[in-house]
Chains A and B, each alone.
Chain A
Amino acid sequence: KQEVTQIPAALSVPEGENLVLNCSFTDSAIYNLQWFRQDPGKGLTSLLLIQSSQREQTSGRLNASLDKSSGRSTLYIAASQPGDSATYLCAVGDRGSTLGRLYFGRGTQLTVWP
Chain B
Amino acid sequence: GAGVSQSPRYKVAKRGQDVALRCDPISGHVSLFWYQQALGQGPEFLTYFQNEAQLDKSGLPSDRFFAERPEGSVSTLKIQRTQQEDSAVYLCASSLLNTGGNQPQHFGDGTRLSIL
Contacts and interface: CB of A to CB of B under 8 A. Distances in A.
B42 A107 contact: yes
A53 B42 CA distance: 25
B102 A51 contact: yes
Interface residues of B, number: 31
A13 interface: no
Given A106-B40, A106-B41, A100 B33 contact: yes
Interface in B68-102: 91, 93, 95, 98-102
Contacts of A36: 107
Interface size of A as a range:
20 to 34
Interface in A65-104: 89, 91, 93, 97-104
Contacts of A93: 98, 101
Contacts of A102: 33, 35, 43, 45, 105
A32 interface: yes
Contact of A32 (B43, B56, B102, B109): B102
A11 interface: no
Given A4-B42, A107-B42, A100 B105 contact: yes
A49 interface: yes
Contact of B44 (A30, A89, A104): A104
A51 B98 CA distance: 12
Interface of A: 4, 30-32, 34, 36, 41-46, 49, 51-52, 89, 91, 93, 97-107
Given A44-B43, A44-B91, 12 more contacts: A4-B42, A30-B101, A43-B109, A46-B107, A91-B42, A97-B56, A99-B99, A100-B105, A101-B56, A104-B44, A106-B41, A107-B42
